[in-house]
Structure 1
Amino acid sequence: MSDKIYFKSDNRFNLKKHMLNVMTRAHHRVAPRHAEKTAIKLLLTPVRAKPKNTVPSDMIEGSISSREGLLKTYQMGSGPVWVFTHGWSGSANQFFPLMQYIAEQGYTALAFDHPAHGSSEGSVGHLPAFVSGLEAVLESTDQVKGVIAHSMGCAAAIECKHPKLINKPLLLIAPLLDYVSNLFGSIERSGYSMRLFRSVVSKVENEYNYPMASVDPFEKLKNKTAPCIIVHDKHDKFAQFAVSKQAATKMSKVKLIETQGLGHGRILQSQQAQEAFDELITQ
């Protein structure tokens, strides 16, 4: 259900949305603690999607510890490490074809399932947990060459302050550079009580000491000194292509590669993603 909330963009009046707003507001007013627990379960519980790609025969599976529990890792190839970070309700499995390509170019491809995603432990997911998971993976490996990210994973990669990412190139695929407005806009369009949602956000902020007001991937990307290539489909329904185009226009280190007809997910297996990687390693 969380996917339908976060990835719904219809602004038209809908009776179900109206009733959801009325019920969640009443629930929060009458039983605030129970309403918050319900909201956390609904809004912060990603869908554990079934794997679609076959596991390559030379894939090495493992796990690492994090504050969220054990995170499942997937590694192949040898040489400098490119770390992969997926998006909401995604998993490392989405990257397997691209990982195989990168391993063939003489690099190590290292992906992992974020907390509460794929085969990793954890029951809830959110941006602070994504950043925490990425930091745990970075701590577990050396020779980090760069990061390849998709969707919400792009926001986590940009937000992450780990020293191993300083001056490291980024390949951002269908990024959510306007993460906060996208998130709050999606919840508001769903009809869910915004006051209740803000209460849930506040709990996460306090637990992780991670104020939502500090989250701004677009602005933080401006301060990156290493090259960045964005691969984004012009008709992406979930992440705004216009924001990526704006980034490439305003930021000298950012280049945009446009695609058509690949959407938000299929773009991960595109030739353009491979070509973007090839270009990035020559810069």
Structure 2
Amino acid sequence: MASLSTLQTYHTLAGLFAPQFAVRSARRLMMRPRRLPPRDWEQPALAAAQRIHFRFGLSGLRWGKAGDPVVLMLHGWEGRPSQFGRFVAPLLAAGRQVIALEGPAHGQSPGDEANVVSFAYALMEVVPEIEKLEAVVGHSMGAGAVVYALGQGLNVDRVVLLGGPSSLRGVLHRFAGFVGLPQAAHARFLQEVEDYTGVPLDDLDGVRTAPRLRPAALIVHDRDDDTVPYGDGAALASAWPGAELYSTSRLGHWRILTDERVVQRVMAFLAPERVAPELPRAA
């Protein structure tokens, strides 16, 4: 892959003189994930997992006993089910079963391209195969996909969103700036993505969707998240009736998946009958 500076220079110049090529290139770049290997700390969770496949080809990992209530998890961009490994043992101890889906073009799930819409459709595709679904947990783009799926009729009692965006529009503007598209090409880039997914960007605005959502929600976001701004989580929590915002500091976008305080707070929300009432406070 070309260096970041080369990509930025190309998209800046092409965005000025041939914007149709620049926005198409940026869209392809944005939607083609790398399949990254798991880190060492993920290995214990991987070793304990059972590989599962759903009827339309999607893949995932399962932990726990068949028949127990299910917590369904969806990772973010270039993420993996094993990134939820810190949550698995506490959930199993609380009598839950954990199923973590591999989104399209991730892990062993098919495809070369992915986006928040395809992630949401994948989620809705596998839900009919899951008995006793109790809760859904999403991280980053997976969290955005959960919100869109809920707006499309996904039925679940509890939802946990970790470092999720409040809208795709904001994500696209940040990505356009990251790859060097000039401001004048941003609107064209947003239209390119909207045309490609077939879903209006307004329909992917979680703040617009949240007021009509009824599941109980815990929204976890770090004040120092440099990938998805903290304001996204705060705005989503404010718009969602009854949602709770759990704010952390100094964890960034990824360490909220491994921090013990976050794990305990999520457990208190998903399985309150099994967690002591006194929890460490976030910084």
Question: What is the CA-CA distance between 1:43 and the residue it aligns to?
Answer: 2.1
Tell me which of 241, 244, 247 is aligned to 2:233.
244
SS in structure 2 of the partner of residue 172 of structure 1: strand
- The 1:106/1:72 distance shift into structure 2, 3 A limit, reads same
Cα contact 1:44–1:124 (8 A) shared by 2: yes
Tell me which of 53, 56, 60 is aligned to 1:63.
53
Task: Give, in whole Å, the separation in 2 of the partners of 1:234 and 1:77.
Answer: 33
Cα contact 2:159–2:218 (8 A) shared by 1: yes
Calculate the TM-score normalised by the size of structure 1: 0.81
SS in structure 1 of the partner of residue 54 of structure 2: strand
Q: CA RMSD in A?
A: 2.9
Question: What is the CA-CA distance between 1:98 and the residue it aligns to?
Answer: 1.3
Task: Give, in whole Å, the separation in 2 of the partners of 1:15 and 1:37.
Answer: 17
Cα contact 1:24–1:196 (8 A) shared by 2: no
Task: Give, in whole Å, the separation in 1 of the partners of 2:272 and 2:153.
Answer: 20
Who is 1:44 aligned against? 31
- Pairs aligned (count): 264
1:264 and 2:256 correspond: no
Tell me which of 78, 87, 94 is aligned to 2:83.
94
Tell me which of 201, 204, 210 is aligned to 2:193.
201
1:158-197 matched pairs, under 5 angstroms:
158-161=147-150, 165-192=154-181, 193-194=185-186, 197=189
1:1-283 matched pairs, under 5 angstroms:
17=8, 19-28=10-19, 38-52=25-39, 53-56=42-45, 57-66=47-56, 70-78=57-65, 79-161=68-150, 165-192=154-181, 193-194=185-186, 197-198=189-190, 200-206=192-198, 210-249=199-238, 251-280=240-269, 281-282=271-272
Task: Give, in whole Å, the separation in 2 of the partners of 1:256 and 1:145.
Answer: 20
Task: Give, in whole Å, the separation in 1 of the partners of 2:117 and 2:240.
Answer: 26
Question: What is the CA-CA distance between 1:272 and the residue it aligns to?
Answer: 2.5
Q: Deviations over 1:41-78 (max 9, x none)?
A: 32210122211111434311021244xxx222100113
SS in structure 1 of the partner of residue 77 of structure 2: coil
Question: What is the CA-CA distance between 1:185 and the residue it aligns to?
Answer: 3.1
Cα contact 2:216–2:242 (8 A) shared by 1: yes
SS in structure 2 of the partner of residue 54 of structure 1: helix
Question: What is the CA-CA distance between 1:217 and the residue it aligns to?
Answer: 1.2
Question: What is the CA-CA distance between 1:127 and the residue it aligns to?
Answer: 1.4
- The 1:220/1:93 distance shift into structure 2, 3 A limit, reads same
Task: Give, in whole Å, the separation in 2 of the partners of 1:82 and 1:105.
Answer: 11
Calculate the TM-score normalised by the size of structure 2: 0.81
Task: Give, in whole Å, the separation in 1 of the partners of 2:175 and 2:32.
Answer: 15
- The 1:15/1:43 distance shift into structure 2, 3 A limit, reads closer
Identity %: 21
- The 1:167/1:147 distance shift into structure 2, 3 A limit, reads closer
SS in structure 2 of the partner of residue 160 of structure 1: helix
- The 1:134/1:196 distance shift into structure 2, 3 A limit, reads same
Task: Give, in whole Å, the separation in 2 of the partners of 1:278 and 1:42.
Answer: 36
Question: What is the CA-CA distance between 1:264 and the residue it aligns to?
Answer: 0.6
Structure 2 gaps of 5+ residues are: 274-283
Cα contact 1:257–1:272 (8 A) shared by 2: no
Who is 1:11 aligned against? none
Structure 1 gaps of 5+ residues are: 6-13
